[in-house]
Amino acid sequence: MIRFECDYSEGAHPKIIRILTETNFKQTAGYGDDEYCEKARSLIKEACGAPQADVHFLVGGTQANRTVISSILRPHQGVLSAFTGHINIHETGAIESSGHKVLTLPCPDGKITAEQVENAYQEHWSDETHEHMVQPGMVYISNPTENGTIYTKSELTSLSEVCKKRGLPLYMDGARLGYGLVADTNDLTLEDIARLCDVFYIGGTKAGALFGEAVVIANPALQKDFRYFIKQNGGMLAKGRMLGLQFLALMEDGLYLDISRHAVGQAMKLKRALSDKGYRFLYESYTNQQFPVMPDAHLDALSQKYAYSFWEKIDDAHSAARFCTSWATREEDVEKLISDISAL
Amino acid sequence: MIRFECDYSEGAHPKIIRILTETNFKQTAGYGDDEYCEKARSLIKEACGAPQADVHFLVGGTQANRTVISSILRPHQGVLSAFTGHINIHETGAIESSGHKVLTLPCPDGKITAEQVENAYQEHWSDETHEHMVQPGMVYISNPTENGTIYTKSELTSLSEVCKKRGLPLYMDGARLGYGLVADTNDLTLEDIARLCDVFYIGGTKAGALFGEAVVIANPALQKDFRYFIKQNGGMLAKGRMLGLQFLALMEDGLYLDISRHAVGQAMKLKRALSDKGYRFLYESYTNQQFPVMPDAHLDALSQKYAYSFWEKIDDAHSAARFCTSWATREEDVEKLISDISAL
Amino acid sequence: MIRFECDYSEGAHPKIIRILTETNFKQTAGYGDDEYCEKARSLIKEACGAPQADVHFLVGGTQANRTVISSILRPHQGVLSAFTGHINIHETGAIESSGHKVLTLPCPDGKITAEQVENAYQEHWSDETHEHMVQPGMVYISNPTENGTIYTKSELTSLSEVCKKRGLPLYMDGARLGYGLVADTNDLTLEDIARLCDVFYIGGTKAGALFGEAVVIANPALQKDFRYFIKQNGGMLAKGRMLGLQFLALMEDGLYLDISRHAVGQAMKLKRALSDKGYRFLYESYTNQQFPVMPDAHLDALSQKYAYSFWEKIDDAHSAARFCTSWATREEDVEKLISDISAL
Amino acid sequence: MIRFECDYSEGAHPKIIRILTETNFKQTAGYGDDEYCEKARSLIKEACGAPQADVHFLVGGTQANRTVISSILRPHQGVLSAFTGHINIHETGAIESSGHKVLTLPCPDGKITAEQVENAYQEHWSDETHEHMVQPGMVYISNPTENGTIYTKSELTSLSEVCKKRGLPLYMDGARLGYGLVADTNDLTLEDIARLCDVFYIGGTKAGALFGEAVVIANPALQKDFRYFIKQNGGMLAKGRMLGLQFLALMEDGLYLDISRHAVGQAMKLKRALSDKGYRFLYESYTNQQFPVMPDAHLDALSQKYAYSFWEKIDDAHSAARFCTSWATREEDVEKLISDISAL
């Protein structure tokens, strides 16, 4: 079985294994208060052109989302999100569990617009009985989205402007951020993101780390007491250095983007092959996730040798599937898959 | 600086690093649904003599406590705990954050008694207005406690009996369980614990793993839907196999107890040296944490070369400190410390 | 200004004022543990043909919904509800605040179907990663709905069957239950409701009481410890007898239904007048709320003398409004309104 | 049975019944947005000398405490309170249910001191690992306390100063505020309280109203969006005018203090009789609650004719009991009780 069903099927990039091994017997303080974390934080702030930012390392994405969102909202506020947002669908209600409603906006492809945010704001505040409703308190976006799509600089700028105007902190879930940054269609840099978002995270789990997400709180007004939130939400790793070490490896010498480029390169090869075969795509993705709509018979045939994610039923004879590549995807496996697809 | 201030100053036992390295490129399913986790779960159930148990791997202790406790209690119930219990003092209110009061019982050394539990139960239910008060819903103990003390089989049996009688699930926080199991004064086995407790966890983070705690739900009535709770509480590791791999290493060939024996052996050497020097101890610990009461001048002198934890002020000239050993404690470092103490 | 914008513009039915006055100096125990409450509970159980039921008096609807729902769900579960359900829209996230997601189902007129519930159940459990999603744990309906529509016996029976089959307690929000029970199109009795629902409440606030909702827990499995939930949610009235006294007045001599008949009778007169005028209705309501779609100019004209609720914009020149009647609606005021409408 | 076990055994002061009756058919807007509430708010602000204050009417004390506290704290913060504070003991964990730990301070008689608050603050912030502990975020006091004791102006001033210095909002639970304001030993005015506390409430339920507490948010920084919190916590009464009407009656012509004076006068008569009999008191109370320590045989004898609250067992033959007076306590009943006590 060759696995394309997600981007976390293997361990970690060898450089990460190496740095963990090399430093294994070094004694350090716990809870992220060590030199490796300190150095990794510096590298990230530098890469983001954000010396004023606070950087915190958390273990996983659901934890990061829950921790960030609960640190920002007051109890009567909710978070605006695409209906398809990870926080709305795939986190077992972690946001609600911390007391907040996810205020969903419809979207065809995982992205929401500045206009939708402005309308939601207007709709709330123009209602006479607004205190009977959850108040929009911040905006959550994912980039790339759960559908593989990405925001343009223009779109993110518009979102950022309406958020600033309406006092709604803008938070970007970057679980797969690297795969977005290297996409052909991308025109955003880490500096742009740090300037346009109040908080975002650079995903490690899905981009070469054993685990770990680097939360960047770019807006100083939102930095206060954040470590309490990490601890309360169960995210304060005793051996916190492991998070620092992994991000040290990822941020040095451009490894994070190299990894992402490899994955997206393989995904684009696959995309062309799927397209050549005549399949359409559910979403226009130029990142490491591809969503072809295929005959069920073809999907069944592939499932003998390949793991992919079933996405949704399209009609009686077709379904959409998700194929993912990652830092660890082997060129030869992609070639095999392409060849088997052509032969269908 | 030689560190004795905690038991998580280094990385992981070399066997763990090795197994992570060796399996790094193997592809597996995510979220703990892989063969390594499956095998580790089997080994743990076997070691506990508890084939009916469910075993889940979580990342850290606060997360494990919060996840287990919130899975057991109904909203109007609280958890009985020693005042010094980790959940009451050192988890930034994670239990309260999930809606539950920690109902504290006084204790001189971290341990609570069956009688205290029975009294708390009686006190609640004999009050006419009991519905105006939080209902005791379960019992939390740590073993070893935060003070290094351990429960005897007789004590745990009594606790278990009153808990069963009163319908209060008994949960043991085993963050340092290994160090308790190998103590000279211990008469409990994993089988005993699995039989006497409803839920407990075998701590990895403080006993040789990079991170990870193995939650054993021995009582089938408490097993339902537990994976939802893990996910909601941010503890569902995408690359869950890393938890399985680490516990596989720990549970094979008795490594977990070997590690613990090493640590406790070093602690006992230190204990004798401290005792020979004439210091008294704040708590009678035969595990890897020692709490000598020392002249402040002595502590200051040691702090030039050694890291320890300040515990509490005793009087104008004395304080209690905590010294920890671990799997990674080097015999030569303990010898140095002992020699420097003798010379004070 | 004559008010038709809601059904709580006045105080209480005179019988309620009278009973409160007459018993004012009587001493009783607090918190609902008095003879008036006891008698009212008996009358309600009798009216529902449900001797096994528990009846509790709460102050308001949001409180009742939050208290009931949080007493039923485990933390990883959510409540299925029409998108337009009061808990989803107009309770400032009270349900989420207690940790639970509202799992919404689309609906044209406030009602959901057994098929929708079955599909939602299937969709959840057939997903391989269902533990990453909120588990449906119960079903919430309102009857009459927020749109004035009501469930038929056949519809409620189907809902009840699927709920029983799938282990999802069925809860009916009866804020305006009386107005439904007396509707021409209604074929449900209190006995039916007590048999088909696990929990429901008989609304007092909007049907002649100063305040108060009678929660009927028909399913014994859901009765345990409910008074704790009332207290924790701030709903345990010290002078609880006031709730008992009001429901005593309402349940004696059929006052509750008499009140409702008066209100619905006035609403039907208004409905005919609106219909005669040629307005269409947003929802087909035979209860005390009417939702005509009217020219904005007409609405503006009426607003000089009458209060109504703006409901939603229909097009550039039309809007839907809500007109409510109640126990206190004066026939002469309805006549005036009808006459003014005819003259538009 | 003559009831002295609490101060909410009867309905409401006749003036309140009268105003409710007189205004019963008047139509008003809902949710406290009516002229009666507006007028009552004005009277309260005037009485407090606090034109900048916001006044909100809530139904009960637990609800008020939960709503106020959850509006002030961030999730990682707790509320400092006397161990005996109502929020810690008698609200079924309502505060924890909203996510916050009650950080208890020991106290002999229900009162805490400025020094205790300062020490708790210091203890938290001087700990290196303070983010592992709940951060003190505000201070809760009750006045009179649950033990009938009251704060002097000097004590409250000291508390206020340390709270301001440390950024901890000071909140006073005034469930029985009137009974404190008229005590012989009191030197605090409403103006003092509004100046020294950030938030407090004037209790109605226990002082002559059917129900209701007037929350005064004196500190403008804490006023934002408070109505959302009321609604979310189930405290937004549809017929909100009833709260306004009751406080209108209480605040006009000094009724609130008159009621309180009557109750405290009766309590002082009883206090003298108990003292004359040779009983000691558990707490030195000059308010409407008295806590004599009496032979169990005497208590048993009285229980044939009188209801009182059992407070706590003192020794094998003695217990403390609580006797309360209220606006409705009849002089003749107190005389009877005194006479029966003398005869014991």
Tens digits of residue pLDDT in D315-334: 999 999 999 999 999 999 99
In chain B, DSSP assigns E strands to 2-3, 54-58, 77-82, 102-105, 135-142, 170-173, 199-203, 213-217, 280-281, 289-290, 292-295, 306-307, 309-313, 318-324
Q: Which two tokens stand for residue A320?
A: 């959409």
Q: In what order do the strands lie in the sheet with D170-173?
A: D54-58, D213-217, D199-203, D170-173, D135-142, D77-82, D102-105
Chain C CA closest to residue A87: C133
In D177-255, DSSP assigns E strands to 199-203, 213-217
Residue D171 has pLDDT above 90, yes or no: yes
pLDDT in the model for residue B234: 96
Closest to D80 (Cα-Cα) out of D132, D148, D142: D142
Chain A CA closest to residue D131: A228
Using an 8 Å Cβ cutoff, are B168 and B138 in contact? yes
Q: How far, in Å, CA of D291 to CA of D149, rounded?
A: 11
Q: How far, in Å, CA of A58 to CA of B63, rounded?
A: 13
For residue C6, give the 3-state DSSP assignment: coil
- Amino acid identity for residue D285 in this structure: S
pLDDT in the model for residue C39: 98
Mean pLDDT across chain A? 97
Within 10 angstroms of residue A52's Cβ, the number of other Cβ atoms is 11
Beta carbons of D231 and A132 less than 8 Å apart: yes
Counts of helices then strands in chain B (DSSP H, E): 14, 14
D229–A contact, CB cutoff 8 A: yes
A5 φ, ψ (degrees, to nearest 5): -80, -15
Q: How far, in Å, CA of C332 to CA of C322, rounded?
A: 19
Beta-carbon pairs below 8 A across chains C and D: 148
Beta carbons of B76 and C232 less than 8 Å apart: yes
pLDDT, one tens digit per residue, over B54-97 is 999 999 999 999 999 999 999 999 999 999 999 999 999 999 99
DSSP bridge pairs for C77: C135
Closest to D184 (Cα-Cα) out of D273, D328, D285: D285
pLDDT, one tens digit per residue, over B24-59 is 999 999 999 999 999 999 999 999 999 999 999 999
B122–D contact, CB cutoff 8 A: no
Residue A224 has pLDDT above 90, yes or no: yes
D238–A contact, CB cutoff 8 A: no
D22–C contact, CB cutoff 8 A: no
Average pLDDT, integer, range A82-91:
97
Mean pLDDT across chain D? 97
CA atoms within 13 A on the CB side of A176: 30
CA angle A224/A228/A232 to nearest 5° reads: 145
Closest to D18 (Cα-Cα) out of D329, D253, D230, D307: D253
Beta carbons of C97 and D232 less than 8 Å apart: yes
A3 φ, ψ (degrees, to nearest 5): -100, 120
Q: Which two tokens stand for residue A80?
A: 């605006």
Residue at token pair 């000094």: D254
Closest to C74 (Cα-Cα) out of C159, C154, C131: C131
pLDDT, one tens digit per residue, over B147-194 is 999 999 999 999 999 999 999 999 999 999 999 999 999 999 999 999
DSSP bridge pairs for B159: none
Residue B191 CA to its chain's centroid (Å): 17
A116 φ, ψ (degrees, to nearest 5): -60, -40
Within 10 angstroms of residue D339's Cβ, the number of other Cβ atoms is 10
Model confidence at D74, pLDDT cuts 50, 70, 90, reads very high
C18–D contact, CB cutoff 8 A: no
Residue ranges for chain C with pLDDT beneath 50: none
Name every chain B residue with its beta carbon within 8 A of the beta carbon of A36: none
B325–A contact, CB cutoff 8 A: no
Distance from the Cα of D122 to chain C's closest Cα (Å) equals 32
Contacts of A150 (CB under 8 A, 6+ apart): A143, A144, A180, A183, A185, A186, A188, A286, A287
Q: Which two tokens stand for residue C289?
A: 């709320």
Counts of helices then strands in chain A (DSSP H, E): 14, 14
Beta carbons of A228 and D98 less than 8 Å apart: no
Q: Which two tokens stand for residue B70?
A: 């919130």
pLDDT, one tens digit per residue, over B105-143 is 999 999 999 999 999 999 999 998 999 999 999 999 999
Model confidence at A26, pLDDT cuts 50, 70, 90, reads very high
Beta carbons of C70 and B70 less than 8 Å apart: no
pLDDT in the model for residue A128: 87
pLDDT in the model for residue D183: 98
Name every chain B residue with its beta carbon within 8 A of the beta carbon of D98: 99
Chain B CA closest to residue A241: B11
Q: What is the ipTM of this complex?
A: 0.96
D331–C contact, CB cutoff 8 A: no
Distance from the Cα of A52 to chain D's closest Cα (Å) equals 21
Chain B CA closest to residue C229: B76
Using an 8 Å Cβ cutoff, are A315 and A212 in contact? no
Model confidence at B339, pLDDT cuts 50, 70, 90, reads very high
Q: Which of B93, B129, B132 sits opposite D101 (nearest CB)?
A: B93
Residue B316 has pLDDT above 90, yes or no: yes
Beta carbons of C237 and D12 less than 8 Å apart: no
Beta carbons of B10 and A25 less than 8 Å apart: yes
Q: How far, in Å, CA of D189 to CA of D50, rounded?
A: 12
pLDDT in the model for residue C230: 98
User: Mutate which of C131, C226, C230, C232 to test chain B, going by most B C-beta atoms within 10 A?
Assistant: C131
Q: Which of C70, C99, C135 sits opposite B228 (nearest CB)?
A: C135
Q: In chain C, positions 101-120, which contact chain D (CB-CB < 8 Å)?
A: none
- Amino acid identity for residue B225 in this structure: D
